Chains A and B, each alone.
Chain A
Amino acid sequence: MKRFKLILWALVLLLVGCTGKDIMVTTPVDFTFKIDQVKATKVKFTVDISNPDAHYGYFIANLNMVEVDFAHMTDKQLADYWRDIQKEDYEARTEQRPFGATLADVNCYRGNRTLKRTYLSTDTSYRLVVFQVNPKDFTILGDVQGVSFQTPNVEASDLDFTLQIDGSFLVITPSDNDCSYYWDYESEERIYDDYMTPFGYLYDVVDMYEDYGFIGNVLTKGPVHHDLAQDHLKDGAAYVVVADAYDPKQGELSYPFKMLRFQYRNGTFYTIGEENDDHQD
């Protein structure tokens, strides 16, 4: 009987809960935002909003861009530009396949958030605008707030690497044993599926470690001898090794980075190719 009561209790709560729909805030609410950190290719900022159910968006305009003259737009015009682009994109995507998510789901945030934008251009002027959005019609609600910032340049590193497969060992030999660098490898298929390019993979993984304040634990100095035989690799799959100098002071990867492709086949590791890749924009 006790169990039955528990179940009924759960059902009561559940059904009361299930009758609710997403709360739509359609009137302006108070919000503030501040930039926490600007690095050569990244910016981090925090939005504080008084109503956790209110939707808001942001746009970061490259003021050096030639194709669109963002430099002479007002903050409201930048917000409207963002809204039009998102609507257009959403309509194009939903034409191909119906979306379960609304425009606001796909593009807006709710609640206090620390947000980050990566893959910015170095040594470039930007304008960040934050604004509330009406989730019903995707119009901008209330005042648009904005701030300008400038990304610094990245200094190139002299660190170079030799990447080799020696039997089952991956051998990385840096040109300078005192410089910090990051190395990793991943299946080529996964890299192109989820990260687009080997540099995208390297950038995103390093960015993740930075995010968690853990980058210091994964950087290497000096040569590496890593036994690939312990890693249970997939037979027939190709893998990409990436290595790049990382300057903890700048908090950015250097360029160019080095990569090596290899394949694992019937218990043997075959080198496919080693190359430099200058990823700098």
Chain B
Amino acid sequence: MKKLKFSLLLCLGLVACQHPAVEYLDFDTFKVYSVQTADVFMEDGSLNPDIKFMEDGNLDEPETKVAKTEAATLVRDILGVSGSNTLLHIAGIYKGHDVDKSPIELSGKLILPESGPIKNLVLVSHYTIGANYECPSETFPLEAIIASKGYAVVIADYIGFGITANRIHPYMHTESTARSVVDMALAVKPYLKHINREPESEEVILFGYSQGGSTTMAVMDMLQDEYAHEFPIKHVYAGGGPYDLAATFDYSMDVGVTGIPCAIPMIVQGVNVGERLDLDMDVFFEKNLLDHYDEWINSKKYTVKEINQRIGTNDLRDIMTPAGRDRSQGETAILYKALLKNSTLNFYPRSPIYLFHSRQDQTVPFVNAVRAEAYFKGYDIHYDFGDYGVHAMGAVRFVLTVYKELP
């Protein structure tokens, strides 16, 4: 396959038993199970079609104004700012922490330029995915193109994806998802030293959009509190994040619809698992969702868009029970309190942040950016709020803006 040159494939971990001749590599705590190379751009100048873009999960996909610009020129523009075109993709497993903080083996991907010095470690928190085949260790995530400018990009799969795909993903549970990212960084750091690709600077860059935007803020909080010496933070790039889950809940209940139906069961069961609340899903989900959410969400067979299509409606009355929509009562009040607790607007940043949000975003409502602005005002934050289209379009703009801004 010309598009993807396999220079080395060490089938370990999940497929280790099928290839007993392959030696298990153990670099401190980061165990490599596959190494590949992949180009950002193809020989004809087009972007590698294997690069994973965020889906637009909206059921009512709005018309978008496509600029009449020559595509070829635009691709050349990107190619012009690209540094190392060939990237090394190292998927591996590492020792992390479960939701109850007990040890667990997790997976993720490290992406490096094929050669040359590494400037910094970039900790990417990935956006919402549904199918396991979309997880970072299985794909070429769009965020990974940043590696081509001389960065080591670390992307954890989180609990519930990769080698823990059989587990419920603690979606929007800030402590465990941020911990997965930080644990992977801790594992990768000695590994990079081992392969003589240690970054020139100890400072790390944090980066994430959507779910990853919120997780990125939680990672920042965790690094500031617990790993200020190991991982001083150079810059944080967060975009389109649900930083304020409770405000998102309130906003959605007010308007009666959601731009991302699958996020409802994902959040309810994710926060339930993360916080160990032992909530009864019957209280929250209407019958169709209740009957199928386990297969749709937890089988990890379907993408966000496919799950949304199966749910088949944006109307919250068809997705959630009246009790599930009433935050003042019983189990919903317990969930709501947990949503407040899992807000990432509960610390003060000590490094510069670039905060991006599209005012048209209906998937992660703009109220999140407004709340973040209100909370963080006075700190070194560059707010980039504008009319940047729907959520998925914002993702592409955000990633490429960061790509262009990074030296």
Q: Interface on A for B, CB 8 Å cutoff?
A: 3-4, 6-18, 20, 22-23, 52-53, 93, 99-102, 105-107, 109-111, 113, 115-116, 189-190, 193-194, 208-209, 212, 214, 216-218, 232
Contacts of B49 in A (CB 8 A): 3-4, 7
- B24 at the A interface (CB under 8 A): no
Which chain B residues have a beta carbon within 8 Å of chain A's beta carbons? 46-47, 49, 51, 53, 64, 66-67, 69, 71, 74-75, 77-78, 100-101, 224-225, 235, 246-247, 250, 327-328, 333, 336-337, 340, 346-348, 352-354, 359, 370, 373-374, 377-386, 388-389, 393, 396-397, 400-401, 404
Q: For B51, what are the chain A residues with a Cβ–Cβ distance below 8 Å?
A: 7
The answer to whether A17 and B347 touch across the interface, beta carbons within 8 angstroms, is no
Contact of B348 with A107 in the complex, beta carbons under 8 Å:
no
Cβ–Cβ contact A189 & B333, under 8 A: no
Q: Give which listed residue, A23, A109, A217, contacts B386 with CB less than 8 A.
A: A23
Interface centre among B246, B328, B348, B383 (most CB of A within 10 A): B383
With A17-B388, A212-B250 known, 18 other A-B pairs at CB within 8 A are A10-B53, A10-B393, A13-B66, A14-B393, A15-B78, A99-B352, A101-B382, A101-B383, A110-B385, A111-B359, A111-B385, A193-B224, A194-B347, A209-B340, A212-B246, A212-B247, A214-B327, A217-B336
Query: When the two chains form their complex, are residues B373 and A109 in contact, meaning their CB atoms are under 8 A apart?
Result: yes
Chain A's closest residue to B399 (CB) is A14
Q: Which residues of A contact B333 (CB under 8 A)?
A: 214, 217
Say whether B397 contacts A100, CB under 8 Å: no
Interchain CA distance A193-B350 in the complex, whole Å: 11
CA distance A3 to B49 in the complex (A): 7
CA–CA, A102 to B381, complex, Å?
A: 8
User: Which of A99, A110, A218 is B380 in contact with, Cβ under 8 Å?
Assistant: A99
Check A15 against B69 for contact (C-beta < 8 Å): yes
B77 contacts across to A, CB distance below 8 A: 15
Asked if B348 and A194 sit within 8 Å, CB to CB, the answer is yes
- How far apart are A86's CB and chain B's nearest CB, in angstroms? 9
Instruction: Assess the B69–A16 pair: CB atoms within 8 A.
Output: yes
Please determine whether B374 and A106 come into contact, CB atoms closer than 8 angstroms: no
A37 to chain B, nearest CB (A): 15
Residue of A nearest to B73 (CB): A15
A217 touches B328 (CB 8 A): yes
CB-based contact A11/B379 at 8 Å = no
